[in-house]
Amino acid sequence: MRKVIPSPVIAVVASIASHRETHASMDNLFMYAGAPGDPPEGSKWVKAQEWLRRVNTDGSVQPLQVLGRLIEGYMEELPPEGSPFDNTPPPSQTPDQEKLTKILARYELQYVRGGSIVGALGIPSRTLEEFVRERDIAALEHEFNRALENVDEDPREAISAASNILETLCKVYIDEQGLEMPAKQDLKPVWNVVRKDLGFDPGRVEDQDLQTILTGLLALVDGIGALRTHASSAHGAGKKSYKLESRHSRLAVHAAHTVALFVLESWERKKK
């Protein structure tokens, strides 16, 4: 579904760009981002506003994709270091990053590293994102971002990434724990190794309610893996055609994030 850039977001981006760019660098930035047409006339602020409005009305581009590329440089620059004289902790964001993050959040949007704008993440997804960055697992971060980038635009691709998140995490766990990698390295075989090592066995849990939740967790993994096989972009379509919608891919992605977060938290507990 094509989503336009909200007007208040346009205003903030235009303000930042007009303060930080020259006319020449602004033209280059918008052309790099894929904004359609020639540069509008007027001051830098007027030019940025008009070009962003044109992005919304031109059906040949996806506005949020253009927006992500436009603010990529602003969102990924390093914040200033803290003062060494008064032990001031370094800020986590620059002032421009704070402005952009705040205005995007107001419209349930979020910037994802690499130049993408996606729907705002739920708590499990935000926490998983923190875990991924702390551990610096490049392959897992790639699948995490791929899932979020495609959850609305390409549900089949998002479901493939959701399954790959779990598959990648399991392989990393097996490797770091020195476990034996199964001969077949699809999701189900590697997941079985990990869940056994972490003790994800409903029969070993005394509380009946936790048994029910843990049983559901195991079913989630089976379901995500099966949906990837039958309906994602990872395999060709068979006779049965799945009519996937963004709500289906969002369900699979959030479910994968919840399972992955539980694995990571259980892994941390085991280490301690």
The reply to whether 133 and 40 lie within a common domain is no
* Distance separating alpha carbons of residues 111 and 118, to the nearest angstrom: 6
Tell me: do 71 and 164 sit in the same domain: no
Structural domain count of the chain: 2
Indicate if 62 and 187 belong to the same structural domain: no
Task: Round to whole Å and give the CA distance between 224 and 219.
Answer: 9
Q: Are 128 and 251 found together in one domain?
A: yes
Contact of 24 with 63, CB cutoff 8 Å: no
Structure tokens at 81: 């270091």
Domain carrying residue 14: 7-119
- Would you say residue 78 lies in a domain? yes
Burial of 87 (0-12, 13-18, 19+ CB in 10 A): exposed
139 inside domain: yes
Residues 217 and 131 placed together within one structural domain of the fold: yes
Q: pLDDT in tens for each of the 272 residues of the chain?
A: 678 999 999 999 999 999 999 999 999 999 999 999 999 999 999 999 999 999 999 989 999 999 999 999 999 998 777 655 556 666 778 999 999 999 998 888 889 888 888 876 555 565 677 777 666 677 777 888 888 778 777 888 989 988 998 999 999 999 989 999 998 888 999 999 999 998 888 777 777 888 888 888 889 899 998 888 876 555 455 545 567 888 888 888 888 888 888 888 888 888 87
* pLDDT score, position 207: 75
Packed helices 187-198 and 155-177: angle between N→C axes, nearest 10 degrees: 50
For residues 142 and 213, state if they share a domain.
yes
Note the pLDDT of residue 56.
95
Mark whether 165 and 110 lie in a shared domain. Answer: no
Q: Are residues 82 and 140 in the same domain?
A: no
Whose CA is closest to 249, among 231, 222, 271, 267? 231
- Domain final residue pick, 93, 119, 145: 119
Q: Please tell me whether residues 78 and 183 are part of one structural domain.
A: no
Residue 111, SS3 per DSSP: strand
Q: Measured between alpha carbons, how far is residue 122 from residues 133, 140, 146, 170, 245 in Å?
A: 17, 18, 16, 22, 19
Q: Rounded distance, CA 263 to CA 161, Å?
A: 17
Which residue type, as a one-letter code, is found at position 124?
Answer: P
Do 56 and 17 share a structural domain? yes
What are the residues whose beta carbons fall under 8 Å from the beta carbon of 88, sequence distance 6 or more?
82
Residue 1 lies in a domain: no
Dihedral of alpha carbons 77, 122, 247, 55, sign: negative
- Rounded to an integer, what distance in angstroms lies between the CA atom of residue 139 and that of residue 7? 36
Q: Are 152 and 171 in contact (CB under 8 A)?
A: no
Are both 189 and 74 inside the same structural domain?
Answer: no
CA distance 135 to 84: 27
User: What is the reported pTM?
Assistant: 0.60
Q: What is the pLDDT of residue 264?
A: 87
